[in-house]
Structure 1
Amino acid sequence: MMYLKVHHIPGAGEVVAACDSELLGVTLMHGDVEVCITGGFYGTERATEEEVGRALADATNANIIGKRVVAIAIALGLVSEDDCVMIGDIPHAQVFGI
């Protein structure tokens, strides 16, 4: 399972935020930067792979983290592995102007 939240930004479209379920509430370190995976941004409603895929396909922008979520975006052709920043062994990607 995953978590999904769609942020509606006036004048800018949507930002789809999605993360693998086991990452919610976790703080990862990337160099000196902390990456906090919070329900406020990534949502607190569980979503299926199909729901995440539909949201990403319809998105203007996306912020995704986790192996399963990123695999969906790769399968949809939205990102490649080279587009991801690895935080430890966790892939993270931001996609603009989908």
Structure 2
Amino acid sequence: MILTERQTPKGLLVSVCDRNVLGETFENGDVSITVTEEFYGGEEADESEVAATLARASVANLVGERAVALAIERGHVDETNVLDIDGTPHAQFLRM
């Protein structure tokens, strides 16, 4: 997976995507997401690194089967809140 961390005034913003979706655009009706290098590009990370970062995140954006499945498995995202955009899972969470 590709992991990016950004410290913001409101906390840690994390973006995670599966490597195979980086640079792709997915559309489903009025919903569209482009997995840009600018936002999602970062360092290659394994599941334990991503899990540790998600545990510290205030906000997270996730795209791809592995990234979203890990967030669900670790209890950060409820499976019913995952969007399917052109067959690709996308989820976000905000921790308050």
Normalising by structure 1, we get a TM-score of 0.90
Q: Given residue 7 of structure 2, which amino acid in structure 1 is its aligned partner?
A: H
The alignment partner of 1:17 has SS state of strand
Alpha-carbon distance in 2 for matches of 1:15, 1:47: 16
CA-to-partner distance for each residue in 1:36-61, whole Å, 9 max, x for gaps?
A: 10121112321111111111011111
**Contact in 1 for aligned 2:26/2:88 (Cα 8 Å):** no
CA-to-partner distance for each residue in 1:3-32, whole Å, 9 max, x for gaps?
A: 11012112x001110000100011111323
Q: How far apart are 1:65 and its partner, in Å? A: 0.8
Q: Could you tell me which runs of 5 or more consecutive residues in structure 2 were left unpaired when the two chains were aligned.
A: none
Q: Given residue 15 of structure 2, which amino acid in structure 1 is its aligned partner?
A: A
Match of 2:74 among 73, 76, 82: 76
Q: Given residue 53 of structure 2, which amino acid in structure 1 is its aligned partner?
A: A
Q: Pick closer, same or farther for the CA change 1:97–1:29 going to 2, 3 Å.
A: same
Percent sequence identity over aligned pairs: 43
1:8 is matched with which residue? 7
Question: Which 4+ stretches in 1 moved above 4 angstroms?
Answer: none
Equivalent runs, 1:43-58 vs 2, <5 Å: 43-58=41-56
2:91 corresponds to 1:93: yes
For these two proteins, the number of residue pairs brought into alignment is 96
Normalising by structure 2, we get a TM-score of 0.91
Q: How far apart are 1:34 and its partner, in Å? A: 3.1
Q: Which is worse superposed, 35-44 or 55-64? A: 35-44
Q: Pick closer, same or farther for the CA change 1:13–1:33 going to 2, 3 Å.
A: same
The alignment partner of 1:22 has SS state of helix
CA RMSD of aligned residues (A): 1.3
